[in-house]
């Protein structure tokens, strides 16, 4: 099954082919006659707004396509779906009655976290955490190996446990660890999984196809650390677990941060690729959708998206993620501003650092988008400090804010369509008994938590797509730190059943 998943992962669908295959895509614009430079800059913005348009009808098509891809991904391992729909083997979620101390390791970016959580049978009594930066040479490059990466992590974990022992903060007994590993894996049980591919800044080639739990377990044993990995999850499953710990109506979780993903609770009988012998007694299973790889002809793509994709480390992959996640929004805005600068150099005072990829980050976009000062001084400061563009006019700053608004609005509304697609898949909308039940979607990630206009736009689009009556029973709420706490909670729930 792992080989099939890897083979399917090698299929490449270009963004250009997706846009050409969409019945609702606008026809190519006719060549425009020469125009004054300011008008040319305004034309760039107008064309961007048109290409990024997300009317309700298009979003409904995206939601339906999402639900269809989910269905296809559940049907067969390594099939035609771009979405992996990974079975997590988490067949029950925390109830709030768990007790004892559990550890968590959260690996998903350039830093990882280690935590100890003490559960008191009704709440979290204590939580201790430490964040550890990973040296760049451990994540990628000629010296980056599986042994080096997991050895570094195990050493930090051993140090953390040692300090806890010195302070008398342990309950004694066997230590159990929940491992949040936020990269695509092919799981064969709740505590084993082989790496399908790396994302983000990681490129440790010899780890691909390896059981990451076995690698971590071996590294801990070599360092004399008596700890058992009792659950392997990703950050989205962790967010789902943490959300359900506090609210039993949580049915799905979404990560909207540097990257993006979603997980949800599925009826186990709907997972055709599971062998009957694998069906759990609970008849439910948490599915890690890997929705970042979702692709559909009706996603609104632009020339900037296509260029970004072709120049990325994974062209033709992670299409949805490149449209809605925090890693890419700033880069899309930068590419638009670079084109505006080429059409009207005086408007942005020269290109400055605009030609440098990823120099503009999504927090910069958020700060400019939220600028409510009379002269948009925050925009001016960001352009000067981040891009080296000085002396911008109020008109130029307003144009920058408009670009930020267009890009962020498209992202937020597409994220909303994805959420509605999941709710459609599990029968919480469009009729049926499920639509009358309260449905909670837990969301974690800095993009949702800190980018206020993004968050409000996404929530509004969810209501728009559901309709007022159905929207009354759907709650989208923040679930901070789900990836760390959630791993400990799944480990605790699994341990209680063992």
Active site residue 397: no
C-beta of residue 176 within 8 angstroms of C-beta of residue 103: yes
Domains of the chain by start residue, with CATH? 39-85+247-480 (3.40.367.20), 89-233 (3.30.420.40)
Q: Which of 235, 305, 309, 364 is catalytic?
A: 235
Rg (CA), the chain: 23
Beta strand 227-233 with 99-107 is unpaired
Query: Low-confidence residues of the chain, pLDDT below 70?
Result: 1-14, 16-35, 166-174, 350-351, 431-435, 496-498
Q: Which of 101, 182, 230, 325 is catalytic?
A: 182
Q: How far apart are CA 54 and CA 40, in angstroms?
A: 24
pTM value is 0.86
Query: What sign does the dihedral 303-307-310-314 (CA atoms) show?
Result: negative
- 385-391 long-range Cβ contacts below 8 angstroms, 24+ apart: 386/353, 386/359, 386/360, 387/337, 387/352, 387/353, 387/354, 387/359, 387/360, 388/352, 388/353, 389/348, 389/349, 389/350, 389/351, 389/352, 389/353, 389/354, 390/349, 391/349
Active site residue 49: no
Note the pLDDT of residue 172: 53
Exposed (0-12), middle (13-18) or buried (19+): which is 170, by Cβ within 10 Å?
middle
Q: Which of 81, 88, 92, 113 is catalytic?
A: 113
Beta strand 192-195 with 227-233 is unpaired
Active site residue 113: yes
Note the pLDDT of residue 1: 41
């Amino acid at each position: 099954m792992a080989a099939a998943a890897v083979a399917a992962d090698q299929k490449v669908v270009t963004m250009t082919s997706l846009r050409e295959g969409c019945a609702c895509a606008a026809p190519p614009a006719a060549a425009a006659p020469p125009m004054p430079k300011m008008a040319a800059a305004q034309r760039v913005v107008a064309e961007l707004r048109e290409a990024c348009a997300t009317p309700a009808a298009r979003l409904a098509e995206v939601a339906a396509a999402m639900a269809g891809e989910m269905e296809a991904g559940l049907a067969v391992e390594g099939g035609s779906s771009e979405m992996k729909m990974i079975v997590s083997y988490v067949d029950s979620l925390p109830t709030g009655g768990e007790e004892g101390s559990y550890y968590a390791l959260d690996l998903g970016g350039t830093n990882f976290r280690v935590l100890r959580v003490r559960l008191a049978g009704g709440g979290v009594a204590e939580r201790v955490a430490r964040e550890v930066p990973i040296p760049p040479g451990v994540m990628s490059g000629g010296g980056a190996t599986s042994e080096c990466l997991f050895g570094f992590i195990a050493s930090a974990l051993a140090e953390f446990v040692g300090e806890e022992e010195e302070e008398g903060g342990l309950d004694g007994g066997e230590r159990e660890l929940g491992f949040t590993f936020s990269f695509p894996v092919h799981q064969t049980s709740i505590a084993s999984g082989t790496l399908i591919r790396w994302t983000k800044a990681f490129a440790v080639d010899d780890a691909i196809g390896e059981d990451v739990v076995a690698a971590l377990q071996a590294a801990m044993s070599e360092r004399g650390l008596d700890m058992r990995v009792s659950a392997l999850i990703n950050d989205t499953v962790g967010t789902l677990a943490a959300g359900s710990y506090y609210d039993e109506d949580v049915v799905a979780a979404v990560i909207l941060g540097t990257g993006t993903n979603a997980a949800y609770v599925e009826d186990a009988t709907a997972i055709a690729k599971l062998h009957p012998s694998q069906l759990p007694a609970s008849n439910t299973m948490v599915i890690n959708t890997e929705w970042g790889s979702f692709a559909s002809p009706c996603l609104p793509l632009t020339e900037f998206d296509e260029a970004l994709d072709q120049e990325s480390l994974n062209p033709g992959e992670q299409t949805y993620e490149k449209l809605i996640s925090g890693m890419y929004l700033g880069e899309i805005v930068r590419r638009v501003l670079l084109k505006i600068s080429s059409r009207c150099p005086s408007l942005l005072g020269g290109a400055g650092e605009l030609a440098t990829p990823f120099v503009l980050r999504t927090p910069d976009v958020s700060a400019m988008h939220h600028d409510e000062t009379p002269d948009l001084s925050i925009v001016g400061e960001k352009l000067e400090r981040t891009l080296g563009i000085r002396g911008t006019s109020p008109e130029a700053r307003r144009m920058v804010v408009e670009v930020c608004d267009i890009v962020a609005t498209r992202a937020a509304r597409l994220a909303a369509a994805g959420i509605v697609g999941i709710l459609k898949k599990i029968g919480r909308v469009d009729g049926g008994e499920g639509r009358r039940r309260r449905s909670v979607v837990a969301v974690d990630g800095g993009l949702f938590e800190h980018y206020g206009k993004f968050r409000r736009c996404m929530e509004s689009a969810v209501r728009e797509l559901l309709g007022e009556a159905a929207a009354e029973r759907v709650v989208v709420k923040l679930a901070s730190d789900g990836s760390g706490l959630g791993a400990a909670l799944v480990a605790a729930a699994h341990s209680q059943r063992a």
